[in-house]
Amino acid sequence: VSILVRTGQAEDWSSLWPLLQGMGKTESEAEVARRVAAARRQVEHFLPVATSQGAVVGYAWAQHHSPHLRSGTSVVRLHDLFVAPPWRRHGAGSALFDAVARWAARRGATWLQWQASADALSFYARRGLQGDPCPDPEHPFFEIDLRQQAKGRASLPFDAPSA
């Protein structure tokens, strides 16, 4: 299975909407569509999709928050990472996660942060990533320090071969 990741487009909506519903907690389609379209126009948001033979099979959503006023450090938050169930275990999740991590590093963010559901822990463990179960044991907190890459001190987990 060949998986490609590209920036999501307005034309992807009919494929994207069921994936957003799969991620959960969706408001009405019209409201969600309006917010997704607005987010796409902002450089602080990144909404890549994973495709297989042209079909959209997964998506991610990340947001770069404003820098800390004194230190200048900043966080990219990975809000969503979702692959349609029939397409799982074909590398789409890894390709999306790598795209988000590269985007965050390119933007000069200090940290990439997210909270994982229990179902996703094996996926992150495979990448050598362990979450902190505090304060929410159901959704461990993960953080990657992107400055390590900038200083060339260590290769980041998202550079690791996925096979």
Ligand X SMILES: CC(C)(COP(=O)(O)OP(=O)(O)OC[C@H]1O[C@@H](n2cnc3c(N)ncnc32)[C@H](O)[C@@H]1OP(=O)(O)O)[C@@H](O)C(=O)NCCC(=O)NCCS
User: How many Å separate Cα 84 from the centre of its chain?
Assistant: 15
- How far is the C-alpha of 149 from the C-alpha of 95, rounded, in Å? 19
For position 74 contacting ligand X by CB under 6 A, the verdict is no
Give the list of residues 6+ apart from residue 7 with CB closer than 8 angstroms, or none: 46, 47, 48, 49
Binding span for ligand X by CB under 6 A among 7-15, 28-36, 89-97, 146-154: 89-97
Residue with Cβ nearer ligand X (67 or 157): 157
Does the protein bind ligand X through residue 117 (CB under 6 A)?
yes
- Rounded distance between C-alpha atoms, residue 26 and residue 74, angstroms: 28
Is residue 94 a contact residue for ligand X (CB under 6 A)? yes
For residue 88, give Cα distances in angstroms to 3, 48, 101, 112: 11, 17, 20, 23
Please identify which residue in 36, 83, 101, 129 interacts with ligand X, judged by CB under 6 A: 83
Work out how close the CB of 69 gets to ligand X at its nearest, in angstroms, rounded to a whole number. 29
- Interacting residues toward ligand X by CB under 6 A: 81-83, 88-94, 114, 116-117, 119-120, 122-123, 126
